[in-house]
């Protein structure tokens, strides 16, 4: 592999690892906040126990989220010095403001966790709200830089120099709202489904212990409600993302859909394999006119195909599969939460059928896969550009070599920490089972 490819692989691996913990770091604080608020309103101690246990989980996850994020931040400068030079001159603001979001989150996370017993209930809610605010703000701000890569605004490059810089125009680049919105909404849905998975799993395991079962069922319903709302919102907003691509990065949309010929009434290809040689999508289900409708809300909208662009600037064509998988996850999870929630609240059935429980258990990992697919789609779909139509990825990469060994080391380390973090979670919660907390609670009341 050449150095640029290694740099891309290394950075992509780092991000693919960080995003797991980062997404949970955004999504779970919202769940904790919801549980705290429910506890204040209902005085049902089950909610307070949930909040405490989820907080412990987040405290463990942050032990990996923070150093891996630090790695991501420093690696940007180490691997893409050419890109970061432009970032420093033009789009430094979101990075800068993100620091304040990190500080906000770090300060109030410590206050919430280590001063819990000394806080009044309203101070608890305020602290956990500020944690959640800090987390989502950091996600929105970093995504702003990503959006800027897709729609670079607020500067020009003349003879290799960056000129006519307007940092606020760069900050409010056309991709900002829709992209940051999508990242925040999908993080919330993923946090909720992660909780749903665990609650459903525990319900199967503890069918007979009434109190534990009841607590897990409350957690499941809460997460289905929140997950359902946010997965609907993500889909609506994802539609906006697709329309945004149609306007600003047409070759990415074309590759995502395997569309070669510019046309009105363009069909939507679901699944299948994009065939570069014959310029078609093999084995796909085609919905006539649907892509035009998706892109412009009308069937006669003209969608540009890949043939309009020089082939060396095409993104890799496998992103079609990533895009479809992401959308598939979204639709599946919307259905699952609607069915599950209505089953319990509208049909008022006791318990859930077994297939549905396994669906809930799968929902968290599925949502996380959606996040991974979406990001790899977004970043790989931008290739060969690091700054769309301005700077090539290859031109911004480091020239210092030694990347093979670094890739191996970091890759190994991420595998190691993925396993170890899982084990730490498992052993911690096995040593501190819910049953003991429920008992304590009985004694104290």
Binding interface with ligand HEM (CB under 6 A): 8, 11-12, 15-16, 18-19, 22-23, 25-26, 62, 65-66, 69-70, 72-73, 76, 80, 83, 102, 105-106, 135, 138-139, 142-143, 145-146, 183, 187, 375-376, 379-380, 382-383, 386, 393
| Residue 89 partner contact from another protein, ligand HDD, ligand HEM, none using kind-dependent CB cut-offs of 5 to 8 Å | another protein
Given 5, 9, 37, 93, the residue binding another protein (CB under 8 A): 93
Among 1, 42, 74, 205, binds another protein (CB under 8 A): 74
Phi, psi angles (nearest 5°) of residue 281 = -105, 120
Contact 88, 45 (CB under 8 A): no
| Per-residue mark of binding to another protein, 121-150 (x: CB under 8 A) | ---------x--------------------
- Cβ nearer to another protein, comparing 57 with 184: 57
9 touches another protein (CB under 8 A): no
Rounded to whole angstroms, how far apart are CA atoms 130 and 34? 13
- Report the nearest approach of another protein to the CB of residue 103 (Å): 5
Shorter beta-carbon distance to ligand HDD: residue 109 or 196 = 196
Whether the CA torsion 24, 30, 34, 35 is positive or negative: it is positive
The residues near 425 (Cβ < 8 Å, ≥ 6 apart) are 57, 60
30, 65, 235, 391: residue in contact with ligand HDD (rule CB under 6 A): 235
**Cα–Cα distance between 178 and 158 in angstroms, integer?**
30
Counting contacts by CB under 6 A, is residue 20 touching ligand HDD? no
Q: Which listed residue (241, 292, 337, 363) binds ligand HDD by CB under 6 A? A: 241
Cis ω before 108 (30° cut-off from 0): no
**Cβ partners under 8 Å of residue 402, min gap 6:** none
Residue 112 beta carbon to ligand HEM: minimum distance, rounded to whole angstroms:
12
Q: Is 275 exposed, middle or buried (0-12, 13-18, 19+ CB in 10 A)?
A: middle
Site string for ligand HDD, 123-162 (x = CB under 6 A): ---------------------------x------------
The residue behind tokens 């809300």 is 297
95: contact with another protein by CB under 8 A: yes
Using CB atoms, what's the residue nearest to ligand HEM? 69
Give the interface segment with another protein, choosing from 188-196, 203-211, 365-373, 427-435 (CB under 8 A): 427-435
Kindly write down the DSSP assignment for every residue of 29-97, as one continuous string. HHHHHHHHHHHHHH--HHHHHHHHHHHHHHHHHHHHHHHHHHHHHHHHHHH-HHHHHHHHHHSHHHHHH
Q: How far is the CB of 12 from ligand HEM (least distance, A)?
A: 3
The alpha carbon of 6 is separated from its chain's Cα centroid by a whole number of angstroms, namely 24
Indicate whether 63 belongs to the interface with another protein (CB under 8 A).
Answer: yes
Place of tokens 């993080």: 187
CB-based contact 226:30 (threshold 8 Å): yes
| Residue pair 212/434 in contact by the 8 Å Cβ criterion | yes
Pick out residues in 21-80 that bind ligand HDD (CB under 6 A): none
Give the integer Cα–Cα distance in Å for 355 and 129.
36
Q: Which residues bind ligand HDD (CB under 6 A)?
A: 150, 179, 182-183, 186, 189-190, 234-235, 238-239, 241-242, 245, 326-327, 329-331, 367, 370-371, 374-375, 378, 381
């Amino acid at each position: 592999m050449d150095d640029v490819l290694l740099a891309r692989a290394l950075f992509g691996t780092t991000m693919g690892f960080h995003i797991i913990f980062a997404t949970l770091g955004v999504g779970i604080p919202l769940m904790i906040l919801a549980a705290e608020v429910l506890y204040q309103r209902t005085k049902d101690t089950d909610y307070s126990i949930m909040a405490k246990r989820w907080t412990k989980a987040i405290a463990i996850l942050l032990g990996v989220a923070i150093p891996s994020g630090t790695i991501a931040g420093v690696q940007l400068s180490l691997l893409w010095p050419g890109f970061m030079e432009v970032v420093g001159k033009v789009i430094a603001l979101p990075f800068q403001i993100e620091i304040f979001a990190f500080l906000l989150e770090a300060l109030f996370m410590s206050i919430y966790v280590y001063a819990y017993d000394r806080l009044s209930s309203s101070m608890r809610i305020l602290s956990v709200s500020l944690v959640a605010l800090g987390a989502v703000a950091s996600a929105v701000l970093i995504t702003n830089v990503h959006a800027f890569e897709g729609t670079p605004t607020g500067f020009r490059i003349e003879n290799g120099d960056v000129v006519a810089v307007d940092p606020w125009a760069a900050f409010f680049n056309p991709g900002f709202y829709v992209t940051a919105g999508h990242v925040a909404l999908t993080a919330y849905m993923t946090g909720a489904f992660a909780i749903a998975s665990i609650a459903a799993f525990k319900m199967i395991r503890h069918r007979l212990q009434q109190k534990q079962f009841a607590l897990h069922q409350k957690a499941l319903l809460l997460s289905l409600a929140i997950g359902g709302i946010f997965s609907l919102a993500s889909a609506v907003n994802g539609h906006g993302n697709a329309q945004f691509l149609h306007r600003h990065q047409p070759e990415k949309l074309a590759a995502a859909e395997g569309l070669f010929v510019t046309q009105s009434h363009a069909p939507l290809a679901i699944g299948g394999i994009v065939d570069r040689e014959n310029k078609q999508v093999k084995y796909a289900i085609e919905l006539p006119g649907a892509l035009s409708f998706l892109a412009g809300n009308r069937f006669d909208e003209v969608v540009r195909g890949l043939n309009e662009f020089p082939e060396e600037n095409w993104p890799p064509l496998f992103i079609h599969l990533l895009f479809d998988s992401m959308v598939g996850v979204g639709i599946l999870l919307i259905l699952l939460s609607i069915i599950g929630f209505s089953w319990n609240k509208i049909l008022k059935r006791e318990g859930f059928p077994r297939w549905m429980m396994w669906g809930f258990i799968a929902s968290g990992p599925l949502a996380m896969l959606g996040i991974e697919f979406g990001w790899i789609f977004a970043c790989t779909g931008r290739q060969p550009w690091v700054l769309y139509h301005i700077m090539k990825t290859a031109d911004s990469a480091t020239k210092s070599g030694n990347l093979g060994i670094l890739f191996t080391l970091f890759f190994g380390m991420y595998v190691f920490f993925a396993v170890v973090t899982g084990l730490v979670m498992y052993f911690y919660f096995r040593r501190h089972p819910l049953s003991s907390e429920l008992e304590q609670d009985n004694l104290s009341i």
